[in-house]
Amino acid sequence: MEIANLDYILSNIPPDVVSRGLAYYELGAVKSVVFHENTFKAIVKGTHYYEVLLKFRGNTLTAYGCTCPYVRQYNSMCKHVVAALLYIHKNKGDLKRPWAIKRKDVEAEVLSELFSKSGEKKQPVKVEYIFEFFPHGGYDFISRMHMKIGIDRMYILREVKRFFDAIESGRTFEFGKKFTFNPMLHGFSEEDENVFSILKEIYEIEKKMYWQSPKVFFNERYVNLTYGYLKKIAAALGQRKFRMTLPHIEIVSFETRERPFSVAVGKEGDGISVKATGDIGLPLDRDCRLVYKDKKIYVLDTDDPAFPIVKGIFLKYGEELRFEGENHRKFISLIDQFENDNFLEISPDLKDAVVKKPLKLSIKIEGYKNGIAADVKFVYGEKIIDPFAEAVDDLILRDYEKEDYVLKLFRDSGFELDRGRLVLIDEEKLYTFIKDVAHRLAGMGEVYYSSDVKHLFSTKAPKIRTSVRSLAGNLLEIRMDMEGIDEKTAEEILRAIKEKKKYFRLKDGSDFNSGKGQAFLLSLKAGGVGLNLTSADTVIHFDPWWNPAVEEQAADRAYRIGQENNVQVFRFITRGTIEEKIDELQKRKKDLISSIVSEGEVFINALSKDEIMELFRVG
């Protein structure tokens, strides 16, 4: 079959892919081609056997596919597809329909299919790995390796990149007069295939970096390895032995699951000591990620929670680590993650001294100037920790992650530290904290609100009355009455909604505190709604109330935290009226309360009949 657009196809493929595909075709790697209508299926032998599918419209290729990883990874035509195209193009009359095979050819077709699925048994080739490590640094990579390859006699692989190119293209590679590697005849063990797959991955990276540096990872026979790739190769080799030539010559194996030593943790004076048990081994790199001990190269996982301890002991040349002061409390908070790990052996006296309780959050919020103040405490069982005070002496398994998260919520909300408390005055930030953050804190512990700020954190839906009536001219009149909000304020609220403001602040005395107006007129009921009138220095009661506690609570609006003035309180009473009787009653009530109240309990709760009658006797 003559493929009409073959030249165009090949001109749009990287030249190295075309040359490798041509080599595959010439070496006879295309094992079987069958077709049905306009679809062809070919079996191509490379590193493995791959199935190629080709779809034509007439003599024009319209679609292709291959089971090799190259097509999936690069979404481009591979050498196997090129080989199949060349085979179809040059073998016009030698293609078979799978359902039109002559009876005498059935056995041959069955063998061909079995051959393509099971693969041809190749002669095994041995690989020997040689690694060098650099314990004193001075080298950009953590290690380098080279290989010996052969069947009976081992030969040094002097050109690693050219060897991989030969495998990919199906070409032979000569090691010496007595051994030539042929990818069609020779094969490797599964372990070696896995290692080669990693090395090919490194090779592909170097190809992309060639313009910057042509010899980043590969330098003739040597392959330079980063920590990440050495770790992959170690996992692929498992317990297989290899030769180490630096820092000294020895046959060793990799260990990727165990640590080179364990540690003992105990109390020592006012601190905590961490000591290695037994020989720690020899670090083979500056960052202590590779350790030589007992004919093993330990490849340590830097994500292992124990790695900082192992590295720290090496950096102190095997001496103990001592954690004192705040550091020993932080260290204690971390040992819980090793509870089911035999790495840490904790002494009995240290176990008994450690407090292991879940963190409970306790926050008290009260008014502060024109904003709020938060008193934050972290509670572990009976132990209470102030995050802004001196550190406690107890050994507590603290949840520092959650503690830091809570404090970060306050910091991100705009709170600042003032005399051991977190304070927030900015009005817009206060609104954001109330709306978005307060409920998250409440979900993590107990949050207490003082009476002067409690109303800020409670949601109360206003009572709204509406009426609709028809007017002349096809107009509707809609009236809404919102409890506690006058018409002017309602208009301001609607205007704020139209302007898409985040919030609208109702009149609460903040304008008065900022200097607007000379006097603030309010009802005695204002004593229970959380007003702060710290800019006032004079309180005048014009209308007395029979309960002195109500009057005092109203007067206390000027005595809030942040008051810097001397406050005077005046009470006006009209002579010869019931107000005189109320004043006398208040004095008697105060005297009675003072004499009877015990431990905060008031036993006089109501006026007697005679007292009520006395209120209405004038003169």
Q: 433, 451, 469 — which closes off a domain?
A: 451
Q: Is the pLDDT of residue 362 over 90?
A: yes
Nearest to 397 by CA among 316, 455, 339, 321: 339
Task: For residues 10 and 85, state if they share a domain.
Answer: yes
Q: Which are the contacts of 299, defined by CB distance < 8 A and separation ≥ 6?
A: 230, 231, 234, 254, 255, 256, 289, 290
Task: For residues 224 and 161, state if they share a domain.
Answer: yes
113-127 mean pLDDT: 68
- What pLDDT is recorded for position 263? 96
The C-alpha R_g of the chain, in whole angstroms, comes to 43
Q: Is the pLDDT of residue 124 over 90?
A: yes
pLDDT in tens, 524-543: 766 655 576 777 888 888 88
- What pLDDT is recorded for position 330? 85
User: Phi and psi of 228, rounded to 5°?
Assistant: -60, -45
Q: 311, 334, 355 — which closes off a domain?
A: 355
Task: For residues 16 and 109, state if they share a domain.
Answer: yes
- What pLDDT is recorded for position 57? 84
State the residue for tokens 């591979």: 78
Q: Is residue 245 part of a domain?
A: yes
| Collapsed DSSP state (helix, strand, coil) of residue 467 | strand
169-197 mean pLDDT: 90
- What pLDDT is recorded for position 137? 72
Residue ranges making up the domain that contains 289: 257-355
Residue 377 CB: number of other CB atoms within 10 A? 16
The two tokens of residue 497 are 């909604």
- What pLDDT is recorded for position 80? 94
What are the start-end ranges of the H helices in 307-399?
307-315, 326-334, 348-353
42-57 mean pLDDT: 88
- What pLDDT is recorded for position 103? 45
Sorting pLDDT into bands at 50, 70 and 90, what band is 119?
very low
- What pLDDT is recorded for position 530? 59
* Of the ranges 164-178, 292-306, 368-382, 500-514, the best mean pLDDT one: 292-306
Sorting pLDDT into bands at 50, 70 and 90, what band is 392?
low
- What pLDDT is recorded for position 578? 82
- What pLDDT is recorded for position 183? 84
Q: Pick the more confident residue, 524 or 566.
A: 566
Task: For residues 397 and 420, state if they share a domain.
Answer: yes
- What pLDDT is recorded for position 583? 81
Separation between Cα atoms, residue 50 and residue 64, nearest integer Å: 13
Separation between Cα atoms, residue 452 and residue 508, nearest integer Å: 12
pLDDT in tens, 421-452: 999 999 889 999 998 999 999 989 999 998 87
Task: For residues 285 and 349, state if they share a domain.
Answer: yes
Q: 300, 326, 355 — which closes off a domain?
A: 355
pLDDT in tens, 462-475: 666 666 676 666 66
- What pLDDT is recorded for position 364? 96
Task: For residues 81 and 199, state if they share a domain.
Answer: no
Q: Is residue 10 part of a domain?
A: yes
**How remote is the C-alpha of 118 from its chain's centroid?**
46
Q: Is residue 460 part of a domain?
A: no
Q: Is the pLDDT of residue 74 over 60?
A: yes
Number of domains in the chain: 4
* Of the ranges 61-75, 248-262, 552-566, 592-606, the best mean pLDDT one: 248-262
Q: Is the pLDDT of residue 611 over 70?
A: no
**Cβ contacts of 324-330, under 8 Å, gap ≥ 24:** 324/269, 324/270, 324/271, 324/272, 325/270, 325/271, 325/391, 326/391, 327/271, 328/270, 328/271, 328/272, 328/395, 329/391, 329/392, 329/395, 329/396, 329/398, 330/398, 330/400
Task: For residues 12 and 109, state if they share a domain.
Answer: yes
pTM of this prediction? 0.57
Q: Pick the more confident residue, 416 or 107.
A: 416
Task: For residues 149 and 243, state if they share a domain.
Answer: yes
- What pLDDT is recorded for position 483? 64
- What pLDDT is recorded for position 472? 64
pLDDT in tens, 257-276: 999 999 999 998 888 999 99
Q: CA distances (Å), 426 to each of 12, 423, 494, 596, in order?
A: 64, 10, 24, 45
- What pLDDT is recorded for position 208? 79
Q: Is residue 66 part of a domain?
A: yes
State the DSSP string of 64-118: EEESSHHHHHH-S--HHHHHHHHHHHH-TT--B-TTS--GGGHHHHHHHHHHHHH
Task: For residues 111 and 21, state if they share a domain.
Answer: yes
Separation between Cα atoms, residue 259 and residue 55, nearest integer Å: 55
pLDDT in tens, 219-243: 999 999 999 999 999 999 999 999 9
Q: Is residue 537 part of a domain?
A: no
Separation between Cα atoms, residue 526 and residue 240, nearest integer Å: 83
Q: Is residue 261 part of a domain?
A: yes
Q: Is residue 445 part of a domain?
A: yes
Q: Pick the more confident residue, 348 or 465.
A: 348
Q: Is the pLDDT of residue 348 over 50?
A: yes
Task: For residues 138 and 261, state if they share a domain.
Answer: no
Task: For residues 349 and 410, state if they share a domain.
Answer: no
248-256 mean pLDDT: 96
Q: Is the pLDDT of residue 616 over 80?
A: no
Nearest to 151 by CA among 190, 197, 191, 189: 189
Residue 322 CB: number of other CB atoms within 10 A? 16
Nearest to 555 by CA among 578, 536, 574: 536
In the chain, % of residues over pLDDT 90: 40
88-115 mean pLDDT: 56
Q: Is residue 518 part of a domain?
A: no
Task: For residues 180 and 275, state if they share a domain.
Answer: no
pLDDT in tens, 479-520: 666 666 777 877 887 888 888 877 777 766 555 555 566 787
User: Phi and psi of 360, rounded to 5°?
Assistant: -120, 135
Nearest to 549 by CA among 594, 508, 519: 594
Q: What is the largest CA-CA distance in the chain?
A: 139
Give the chain's mean pLDDT.
Answer: 83
Sorting pLDDT into bands at 50, 70 and 90, what band is 214?
low
Beta strands in 136-187 (DSSP E): 143-150, 154-156, 173-176, 179-181, 186-187
In the chain, % of residues over pLDDT 70: 81
